[in-house]
Amino acid sequence: MSEPLWTSDEILAATGGALVGEAFAVTGISIDTRSLEPGDLFVALGGARVGGARDGHDFVDQALAAGAAGVLASQPVAGSQIRVHDTLAALEALGVAARVRAGKARRGAVTGSVGKTSVTQALAAGLALAGPSHASIKSYNNHIGVPLTLARMPRNTERAVFEVGMNHAGEILPLTRMIQPHAVAITTVGPVHIENFPDGETGVARAKAEIFAGLAPGGVAVLNADNRWLSLLQGEAETAGARVARFGSAEGCEAQLTGFAPFTDGREGALVSARLHGRDLSFPIRQSGQHWGLNSLATLLMLEALDVDLETGLAALADFAPLAGRGAERTIQVDGGEVVLIDESYNANPISMAAALASLGARPVSGRRIVALTDMLELGPDALRFHADLAAPIAQAKVDLVFCAGPLMRALWEALPPTRQGGYATDAAELAAQVAAGLRPGDAIMIKGSNGSRAGTIVSALATAFARDRAAEGATR
């Protein structure tokens, strides 16, 4: 039997709780019975969840039936349990205990208005090649996800990376202090969640800079030199005692992007040209989006700061595939041929929209470039302007047809020339049928929008519709 992640005695020591029932050991930690694995500790988080879900204690019986080895609870429940006053505070304490017991592990943290999940996962790929490692999964980057990820960190971890997100000022501060990273990266700063910041983008930049507060002495801050907030961020990083490493397109950057060329020979990805600490190099990546030129350099600088050699980092990037909802591609069969479906549906803001459109524009296609866009959320009083302003990068990308869904995207729809107007609907589900009807062989279509505006609905609808059509066609032959 493999070494347990935690014993009940260790959980007791970390949380100050009380054991009720038999002693136990766990191999994992879960807060959701839908993804719980046999042998997990089930953490019953208190309070009503967003969307009307019940308190976590209501799911203890399901967790035990699914094989949970023990429960962390703040009220009487079935099964062996560690009883604490507050389960979230106990989870945080368990995360800190995990960090302390794996004290020699090099830890990295990534934040930014866009790109933080992709860069975190690219880093995770590099760390995994270098030795025993640990990383955030999905987008576990908030006040629950970060301590959960920490608490799941095995005791033999040599390197780890954590994604850190925020919607408001003050949210990153406790998370970075919990992690105490040796290196941090801010991918970029832009107008994201700005409705929550009275001082707009300046407030976003200062909130992102909170990540330096937890940086270990002598730590590294990896910053985007192409971002207009570099001066503010670098000043905050240096005040915190960080050594700054910059990535960008300008000379003088520790990692300078000198070229980005998507493959045109049928291969997936692109060739990146760069100057790393004065050394010229070119390397392939599996990503074709132009923003991945800078993302790859941020990844290499972070890996370097976490004691991973360059060859290992390049090998990881060469094999790191686009994530679902963040540039993943698939081919769907339409009447008479194929269409390339580019899934950028996970989230959207003005920065990521512009980057995705530029990548689509640089892509060679045999047919048309098409986009289906849903509302970008949390943009405050200038939301309509941000949407209408997408007309310019759409034109620059030579997009042939635009489909829009949502009340905010109406502003873009009205800003488009009639020749580019593919279709408009009030929501994503309604738009999907229009998009499906408008596709022709050779087209490349990109779907993008905020989570809350359900851009992923269009991706699912297209995949399902054309799969159904192929099945029906096969049945008639």
**What SS3 state is found at 187?**
coil
CA distance 329 to 88: 38
In the CATH scheme, what is the code of domain 328-476? 3.90.190.20
- Strand boundaries in 290-375, DSSP class E: 328-334, 337-344, 369-374
Q: What is the pLDDT of residue 470?
A: 47
Of residues 106 and 364, more confidently modeled: 106
Amino acid at 163: E
- 404 band by pLDDT with thresholds 50, 70 and 90: very high
For residue 188, what pLDDT band results from cuts at 50, 70 and 90?
very high
Instruction: Give the residue with greater pLDDT, 322 vs 435.
Output: 435
- With a cut of 50, say whether residue 438 has pLDDT above it: yes
Confidence (pLDDT) at 330:
87
- In the chain, CATH 3.40.1390.10 covers 6-88
- Mean pLDDT, residues 16-37: 96
Comparing 67-81, 205-219, 343-357, 418-432, the range with the smallest average pLDDT is 343-357
Q: What is the pLDDT of residue 48?
A: 52
> Would the pLDDT of 91 be above 80?
yes
pLDDT tens-digit readout, 164-180: 999 899 999 999 999 99
- Report whether 308 contacts 124 (CB < 8 A): no
Q: Where in the chain is the domain with CATH 3.40.1190.10?
A: 102-319
> What proportion of the chain, given as a percentage, has pLDDT over 70?
96
Six-digit token pair at 437? 């009807």
Task: Give the whole-angstrom CA distance, residue 20 versus residue 324.
Answer: 42
The CATH number of the structural domain formed by 6-88 is 3.40.1390.10
pLDDT at 472: 40
- Please indicate whether residue 64 or residue 323 has the higher confidence score (pLDDT): 64
Residue in 121, 120, 118, 131 with CA at minimum distance from that of residue 159: 131
For the segment 76-82, the average pLDDT, to the nearest whole number, is 96
Alpha-carbon distances of 175 from 109, 127, 150, 187, 430, rounded to whole Å? 10, 21, 10, 17, 40
Which tokens is 223 given?
């910053």
Give me the mean pLDDT over the 282-300 stretch.
94
- The predicted pLDDT at position 199 comes to 83
How many CB atoms lie under 10 A from the CB of residue 263? 15
Question: What is the pLDDT of the chain when averaged over all its residues?
Answer: 92
Q: Would you say residue 211 has pLDDT above 70?
A: yes
- Contact in structure between 113 and 349 (CB atoms under 8 Å): yes
| Every domain range in the chain assigned CATH 3.90.190.20 | 328-476
Instruction: Tell me the per-residue pLDDT of 411-436, one tens digit each, with 9 for 90 and over.
Output: 999 999 999 999 999 999 999 999 99
Between residues 200 and 14, which one has the greater pLDDT? 14
Query: What mean pLDDT do residues 396-418 have?
Result: 96
* Class of 102-319 in CATH: alpha beta
Q: What pLDDT band is residue 473 in, cutting at 50, 70 and 90?
A: very low
Write down the pLDDT at residue 477.
43
pLDDT of residue 51: 47
State yes or no: pLDDT of 467 exceeds 70.
no
More confident call, 336 vs 36? 36
Question: Cα–Cα distances in Å, from 379 out to 195, 225, 402?
Answer: 5, 24, 21
pLDDT band at 471; cut points 50, 70, 90: very low
pLDDT value at 58 more than 60: yes
Kindly state the average pLDDT of the residues 278-300.
Answer: 94
* Residues linked to residue 283 through DSSP beta bridges, in sequence order: 272
